[in-house]
């Protein structure tokens, strides 16, 4: 993902913001599943 943004976006600040936003969204999904389904899902880049 970082490679995509670094090749397609010129402003490094926006690159970092996009990556952080995506990371935060993933963490929200993990927490949602844990709270609503008692399933602990961890989305990692190695998975």
SS3 labels along 1-37: CHHHHHHHCCCHHHHHHHHHHHHHHHHHHHHHHHHHH
Q: What's this model's pTM, rounded to 2 decimal places?
A: 0.63
Q: What is the structure's pLDDT at 34?
A: 94
Better-predicted residue by pLDDT, 11 or 32: 32
Q: What is the structure's pLDDT at 14?
A: 83
Q: What is the structure's pLDDT at 47?
A: 54
Per-residue confidence band for 37, with pLDDT thresholds at 50, 70 and 90: very high
> What would the pLDDT profile of 3-31 be if each residue is shown by its tens digit?
776 666 567 888 889 889 999 999 999 99
């Amino acid at each position: 993902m970082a490679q995509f943004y670094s090749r397609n976006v010129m402003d490094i600040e926006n690159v970092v913001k996009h990556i952080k936003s995506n990371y935060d969204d993933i963490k929200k999904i993990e927490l949602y599943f844990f709270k609503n389904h008692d399933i602990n899902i961890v989305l990692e880049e190695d998975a």
